[in-house]
Amino acid sequence: MRLAVDATLGVTDVVEKLHHTIQLVHPPLGPSRAANTTGLPGFIYRSIRGTTRLLGKGLDTGLAPVAALLPDKASSSKRDAVISAMNGIYGDHLVATGNPLAIKMSLRHQGTELDLEQADAVPGTRARVMLFVHGLCLNEGHWTREGINHGEILAHDLGYTPLYLRYNTGLPIVANGRELALLLEKLIQHWPDESCELVIASHSMGGLVARSACYHARNEGYDWLQHLGKMVFIGTPHHGAPLERGGNWLDYTMDLSPYAAPFSGLARKRSAGISDLRYGSITGMKGEFVPLPQSVDCYAVAATLAKRPGLIHQKLIGDGLVSVDSAFGVSNYPERCLDIPESHQWLGFETGHIQMLGHPEVYTQLRNWFE
C-alpha cells in the first residue's frame, strides 16, 4: 500500500511540473524552469497530495493487525519473487520509508532463516560451507531451475553444507557488503568446526556484494576471510553493466527538454543498487578499484548470446546484461584488470544471464573448480 501511495505522489509531481511547463510556454529545449504551481491549480495538487498521504496512513493503520495475523506459510515462491523484484527496483526507498516489504539480510538453510544468536542454529557439523549469493531482483529460490536446485546438488556431491543469502538488492552494494561481512563473521564464530572452509558461489550483483564483503572484512580484520578458500563469479559485472550506463545516458537526454524532464525524475528513482551496477562499484567511492583477495582462488563464468566469439558480443552484448569482458574482469586499463587466470575462466555460448543458473555445463564447471 505504501508503494501505491508513493507512486501516486510521484505521478502527481510529474503532472504538476508538466502543467507548469505548459503554462510557461517553455521552448522545446533548454533547462526546465518548472516548479510547483500556484493559485487554484496549486491548491488542487496540494489537496491531492494531502489526501493521498492521509489515505495511506489510514490504510497502513488498518492493515497492520491483519498482516500480523497472516501465517508464515502465506509466503510462497511467487510472492517472494515479486517482493524480491520490488526490492531490487525500489529497495532503498522501501527502507527509507520503513516499508514492511523491505527485505532484511539473512542466511538461510533448507528454506529456513538462521538465527546466529542461538548456539544450536547452525545446521550440521560439516567442516565445509558453500554460500550462494543471488543477483539483482532475485532471491535464493532462483538457484532452482526447472525443478532442480543446482546449489543443493553441488553442495551434496562435494560434501558442503549449503547456505543461501537473501538480501535487499536495491540497497547500495557497499551497504550489503558491509552487512554480509558482519554476518559471515558471526557464522564462523558459531560454526562447530573451528577449521571450517568457506567457498562462495555468486551470480550477477551477488559477486560484487561478495567482493565488497571481502573488502570490509580486510578493513575490519574479520577472521572469516582466513576461512575463505574459493569464490566463483557467475555473470558478475565487475566493470559495470552497459544496460545501467544506457539508463543513465537516457536520464541525461531527457533533461535536455523541459517537457521530458519531469518524467526523468521517475526514472531516477531506480534503486542505489541498480545505480551501483553502472561501474561495478563495491566501496561506495566512485572510480575506486579494489583487486580480488590475494589469498582466495577466484573463478569466473561468462556467457554470450552469440553462437561464436565476436567483438560486439565480447565488448557490449554478452549475456544480454553483462559483457564478457566485464564478467572476466578485463579492462581497457591494465591497472584495473582483476587478473583472473584463463584456466579459471569459462565462456558459454547461446546462453543468457539468468539461463546460466541452470545451465548443465555451468554446473559441471563449478563442480570441477570446487573439487
1 has pLDDT over 80: no
Report if residue 146 sits inside a domain: yes
Q: Which residues of 330-362 are buried (b: 16+ CB within 10 A; e: fewer)?
A: beeeeeebbebeeebbbbbeebbbbbbbbbeeb
pLDDT, tens digit, 9 for 90 and up, residues 113-141: 988 877 566 666 678 999 999 999 899 99
Q: In the chain, pLDDT over 70 holds for what percent of residues?
A: 68
Cell of 330: 578485463
Number of other residues whose CB lies within 10 A of the CB of residue 137: 21
Q: In the chain, pLDDT over 90 holds for what percent of residues?
A: 40
Q: Where are the alpha helices (DSSP H) in the chain?
A: 2-23, 39-69, 77-96, 150-158, 173-190, 205-220, 242-254, 261-267, 272-276, 311-312, 324-327, 360-370
Q: Looking at residue 264, what is its pLDDT? A: 47
Report if residue 266 sits inside a domain: no
Mean pLDDT over each residue of the chain, to the nearest integer: 77
Report if residue 248 sits inside a domain: no
Please give the residue that has the higher pLDDT: either 266 or 276: 276
Q: Looking at residue 249, what is its pLDDT? A: 40
Report if residue 344 sits inside a domain: yes
One domain, residues 144 and 52: no
Domain of 311, CATH number, reads: 3.40.50.1820
One domain, residues 11 and 152: no
Report if residue 205 sits inside a domain: yes
Q: Which of 158, 229, 155, 221 is nearest to 196 (CA)?
A: 229
- Across the range 218-246, mean pLDDT stands at 88
Name 345's bridge partners.
300
- 234 pLDDT tier (thresholds 50, 70, 90): very high
- 231 pLDDT tier (thresholds 50, 70, 90): very high
**Domain with 146 in it:** 106-241+277-370
- 82 pLDDT tier (thresholds 50, 70, 90): confident
Rank 134-143, 204-213, 315-324 by mean pLDDT and report only the highest: 204-213
One domain, residues 348 and 229: yes
> How many structural domains is the chain composed of?
2
Q: Looking at residue 255, what is its pLDDT? A: 43
Q: Looking at residue 303, what is its pLDDT? A: 93
- Across the range 315-320, mean pLDDT stands at 77
| All residues at 6 or more sequence positions from 44 whose CB lies less than 8 Å from its CB, including other chains | none
One domain, residues 70 and 207: no
One domain, residues 220 and 311: yes
CB 270 within 8 A of CB 11: no
Report if residue 91 sits inside a domain: no
Choose one of 31, 59, 75: the last residue of a domain: 75
Give the three-class secondary structure for 347. Answer: strand
Q: Which of 106, 338, 117, 310 is nearest to 207 (CA)?
A: 338
Please give the residue that has the higher pLDDT: either 198 or 253: 198
One domain, residues 26 and 139: no
Please give the residue that has the higher pLDDT: either 56 or 117: 117
The greatest distance separating any two alpha carbons of the chain, rounded to the nearest whole angstrom, comes to: 72
Choose one of 75, 95, 130: the last residue of a domain: 75
Cα separation values, 255 from 30, 31, 100, 143, 275, Å:
8, 7, 33, 39, 18
Cell of 319: 549475456
Q: Which of 277, 203, 212, 207 is nearest to 240 (CA)?
A: 277
One domain, residues 6 and 130: no
One domain, residues 200 and 338: yes
Q: Looking at residue 123, what is its pLDDT? A: 66
- 304 pLDDT tier (thresholds 50, 70, 90): very high
Distance, in Å, from the CA atom of 201 to the CA atom of 312, rounded to the nearest integer, reads 28
Report if residue 265 sits inside a domain: no
45 has pLDDT over 50: no
One domain, residues 126 and 220: yes
Query: pTM of the prediction?
Result: 0.77
Choose one of 29, 56, 75: the last residue of a domain: 75
Cell of 253: 537526454
CB 206 within 8 A of CB 165: yes
Please give the residue that has the higher pLDDT: either 251 or 337: 337
Cell of 357: 543458473
Q: Looking at residue 48, what is its pLDDT? A: 44
- 75 pLDDT tier (thresholds 50, 70, 90): low
One domain, residues 176 and 318: yes
Distance, in Å, from the CA atom of 117 to the CA atom of 131, rounded to the nearest integer, reads 19
11 has pLDDT over 50: no
Q: Looking at residue 308, what is its pLDDT? A: 77
One domain, residues 48 and 187: no
Cα separation values, 244 from 195, 253, 315, Å:
41, 14, 15
Q: Looking at residue 225, what is its pLDDT? A: 96
- Across the range 25-54, mean pLDDT stands at 48
One domain, residues 70 and 111: no
- 301 pLDDT tier (thresholds 50, 70, 90): very high
- 200 pLDDT tier (thresholds 50, 70, 90): very high
- 371 pLDDT tier (thresholds 50, 70, 90): confident
Give the three-class secondary structure for 323. Answer: coil
- Across the range 206-214, mean pLDDT stands at 98
Report if residue 256 sits inside a domain: no
Q: Looking at residue 121, what is its pLDDT? A: 65
